[in-house]
């Protein structure tokens, strides 16, 4: 399938639209907003995990891969969603959490009950002397990655929450189960799959991390991961000519990703990588704040664009998702230049080589929540780090400031549909508070505004559908040494597309020869000009096009 002209829209179902007043988004709510999504112009809806779950990690602790959590609706609702989306030219992409299951999953319960078949679905090891875990690996949510079970005098691995037991992909029966699950959903009309932290499924050796970091070098991009993905492709989604797949790759490398998403790799269609979203981590630590390093952001994004291009591999393009704070609050200016910087960030991503992903509310210009009390947070990771930092002697005020910048709940606040109570998200009490600015930033308001962030996204999505140069053109960095402008060129035959983005709230000048011969396709200011010497205003973003020989 040729997916290069398509755009994916990510829905966090819990926070999208609630129709029954329980404060929790549902499938009928998504159905009710399909016309809105059609108007935006997207081609795929990626739904975050909506399977039955104890919700220790917002649904990424799956209890049953073949059912829908009743809080979201029924299988009939899901089939209706697939059919009504298809009527509007939109396909569905599901989230597959295949690295681990909930400890409430029947497989794990059978393992605990003593069934050797299901015990072998998970990773168990003997501890060290003195009742110590098998090694010093750390869970990504804090604390040891191992949990002791007295019945076996063994420990099971959980790279995430203690209720998320890692699956044993060395076991062929586990791999067969995974392929069966994908075929089950494919038969219901699903053509897209996003695989959660899928590059962690092959563990290497189980030795101690000598650097006392967290052990990730022993299980990231592991020794058999490419083999497992090729097998999964062959047994499941690869049989569907319309399939679209994306892998979420944790702490990965370009070398591995060119194989995961290479044109002829027979693994996945594209990959998410996250290096560009760590450029504001002080000393590479998520909970240590610093202003984002613009030159590093530019370097990493250029490196991935070129590295993937050289091996004919494909990127998933994004700045926002359900695990990241809002990009507008992070890389833009959500107070002084909210509209300009939101449009600039969108242009940066959408004109690149790859498939753009729009996370719900991004197209409205949604910001971080800026919650003022720990009681407003719901995310397990945020609550854990609050306790950990308190125990380290940090003040409550300092920790709240960190969470305002970093918490995953920043992106999970409910979608504001209008300026009424709870933003029209629910008639009940929302599971998580809305951001306070929903009366100003909501779908009803932006749909009336021809100059809105939403209108800008519509134009970007339409340009990608229309122009082969955006889909197929090569990527060439420009102005690489400029300290405040992110510019690049796309080339295809005699066509050239130049994208110029001022990343700061101050004027800056750039010079690009022959630019006066280009036409402006899109800008976030009404009166931008095509001149060889450009005076860029705060967060100004311009897309310019030329076809023919430059004189």
* Interval 48-107: pLDDT, tens: 999 999 999 889 999 999 999 999 999 999 999 999 999 999 999 999 999 999 999 999
Categorize the per-residue pLDDT at 211 as very low, low, confident or very high, splitting at 50, 70 and 90.
Answer: confident
pLDDT at 551 over 60: no
Computed from CA positions of residues 493, 496, 497, 501, in that sequence, does the dihedral angle turn out positive or negative? positive
CA contacts within 13 A on the Cβ side of 250:
21
- Is residue 196 part of the annotated active site? The answer reads yes
Q: Mean pLDDT throughout 492-513?
A: 97
pLDDT in tens, 278-315: 999 999 999 999 999 999 999 999 999 999 999 999 99
69, 77, 91, 248: which is the annotated catalytic residue?
Answer: 248
pLDDT at 465 over 80: yes
Report pLDDT for 109. 98
Q: Mean pLDDT throughout 456-480?
A: 98
pLDDT at 350 over 60: yes
Report pLDDT for 212. 76
CA dihedral 504, 507, 511, 515 (to 10 degrees): 90
Report pLDDT for 381. 87
Q: Mean pLDDT throughout 336-344?
A: 98
Q: Mean pLDDT throughout 262-271?
A: 93
Q: Mean pLDDT throughout 314-339?
A: 97
Q: In the structure encoding, which two tokens stand for residue 440, read together?
A: 């100003």
- Is residue 18 part of the annotated active site? The answer reads no
Report pLDDT for 532. 95
Categorize the per-residue pLDDT at 416 as very low, low, confident or very high, splitting at 50, 70 and 90.
Answer: very high
DSSP states of 343-383: HHHHHHHHTSSSEEEEETTGGGT------SSGGG---HHHH
Q: In which region does residue 73 sit, left (phi positive, over 0), alpha (psi from -120 to 50) or beta (all else)?
A: left
Please tell me the CATH code under which domain 474-547 is placed: 2.60.40.1180
pLDDT at 156 over 90: yes
SS3 315: strand
Angle at 200 between CA 195 and CA 202, to 5 degrees: 115
Give the rounded percent of residues in the chain with a pLDDT score beyond 70: 99
Give, in order, the Cα–Cα distances in Å from 485 to each of 138, 303, 346, 499, 511.
Answer: 39, 16, 15, 10, 11
Going from N- to C-terminal start, the domains of the chain cover 106-166, 172-314, 474-547
pLDDT at 550 over 80: no
pLDDT at 219 over 60: yes
43, 166, 196, 269: which is the annotated catalytic residue?
Answer: 196
Average pLDDT, the chain: 96
Categorize the per-residue pLDDT at 1 as very low, low, confident or very high, splitting at 50, 70 and 90.
Answer: low
At the fourth CATH level, the homologous superfamily of domain 172-314 is: Glycosidases (3.20.20.80)
Q: Mean pLDDT throughout 462-485?
A: 98
pTM (two decimals): 0.96
Are 362 and 349 spatial neighbours (Cβ–Cβ below 8 Å)? no
At the fourth CATH level, the homologous superfamily of domain 106-166 is: Oligo-1,6-glucosidase; Domain 2 (3.90.400.10)
SS3 289: strand
pLDDT at 117 over 90: yes
Q: In the structure encoding, which two tokens stand for residue 376, read together?
A: 């407003």
Categorize the per-residue pLDDT at 354 as very low, low, confident or very high, splitting at 50, 70 and 90.
Answer: very high
Report pLDDT for 112. 98
Name which of 164, 35, 8 is nearest 94 in CA terms: 8
Q: In the structure encoding, which two tokens stand for residue 309, read together?
A: 């291009």
Q: Under 8 Å CB-to-CB from 418, ≥6 apart: which residues?
A: 424, 442, 443, 444, 445
């Amino acid at each position: 399938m040729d997916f290069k002209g398509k755009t994916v829209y990510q829905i966090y179902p819990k926070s999208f639209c609630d129709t029954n007043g329980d404060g929790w988004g549902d499938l009928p709510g998504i159905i009710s907003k399909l016309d809105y999504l059609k108007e935006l112009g997207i081609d795929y809806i990626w739904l975050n995990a909506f399977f039955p779950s104890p919700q220790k990690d917002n649904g990424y602790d799956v209890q049953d891969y073949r059912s829908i959590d009743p809080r979201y609706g029924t299988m009939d609702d899901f089939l209706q969603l697939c059919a009504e989306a298809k009527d509007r030219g939109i396909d569905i992409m599901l989230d597959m959490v295949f690295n681990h299951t909930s400890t409430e999953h029947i497989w794990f319960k059978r393992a605990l009950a003593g069934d050797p078949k299901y015990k072998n679905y998970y990773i168990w090891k003997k501890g060290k002397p003195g009742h110590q875990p098998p090694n010093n690996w750390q869970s990504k949510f804090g604390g040891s990655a191992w949990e002791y079970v007295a019945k076996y005098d063994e420990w099971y691995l959980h790279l995430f929450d203690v209720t998320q037991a890692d699956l044993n992909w060395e076991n062929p029966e586990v791999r067969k189960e995974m392929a069966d699950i994908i075929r089950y959903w494919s038969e219901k009309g699903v053509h897209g799959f996003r695989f959660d932290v899928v590059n962690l499924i092959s563990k290497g050796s189980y030795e101690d991390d000598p650097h006392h970091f967290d052990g990730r070098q022993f299980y990231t991009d592991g020794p058999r991961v490419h083999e497992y993905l090729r097998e999964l492709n062959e047994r499941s989604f690869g049989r569907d000519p319309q399939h679209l797949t994306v892998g979420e790759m944790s702490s990965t490398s370009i070398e591995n990703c060119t194989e995961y998403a290479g044109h002829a790799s027979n693994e996945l269609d594209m990959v998410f990588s996250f290096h560009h979203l760590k450029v504001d981590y002080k000393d590479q630590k998520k909970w240590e704040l610093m202003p984002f390093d613009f030159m590093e952001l530019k370097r990493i994004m250029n490196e991935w664009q070129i590295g993937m291009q050289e091996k004919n591999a494909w990127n998933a393009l994004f700045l926002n998702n359900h695990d990241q704070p809002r990009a507008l609050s992070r890389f833009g200016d959500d107070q002084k230049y909210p509209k300009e910087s939101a449009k600039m960030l969108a242009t940066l991503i959408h004109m690149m080589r790859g498939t753009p992903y729009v996370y719900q509310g991004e197209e409205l210009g949604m910001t971080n929540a800026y919650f003022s009390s720990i009681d407003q947070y719901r995310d397990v990771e945020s609550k854990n780090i609050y306790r950990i930092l308190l125990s380290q002697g940090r003040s409550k005020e300092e920790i709240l400031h960190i969470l305002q910048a970093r918490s995953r709940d920043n992106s999970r606040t409910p979608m504001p549909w209008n300026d009424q109570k709870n933003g029209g998200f629910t008639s009940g009490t929302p599971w998580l508070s809305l951001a306070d600015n929903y009366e100003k930033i909501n779908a009803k308001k932006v749909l009336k505004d021809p100059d809105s962030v939403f209108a800008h996204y519509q134009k970007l999505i339409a340009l990608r559908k229309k122009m082969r140069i955006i889909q197929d053109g090569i990527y060439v960095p420009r102005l690489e040494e400029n300290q405040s402008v992110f510019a690049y060129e796309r080339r295809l035959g005699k066509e050239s597309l130049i994208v110029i983005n001022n990343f700061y709230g101050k004027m800056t000048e750039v010079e690009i020869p022959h630019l006066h011969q280009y036409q402006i396709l899109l800008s976030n200011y009404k009166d931008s000009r095509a001149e060889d010497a450009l005076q860029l205003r705060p967060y100004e973003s311009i897309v310019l096009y030329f076809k023919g020989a430059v004189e």
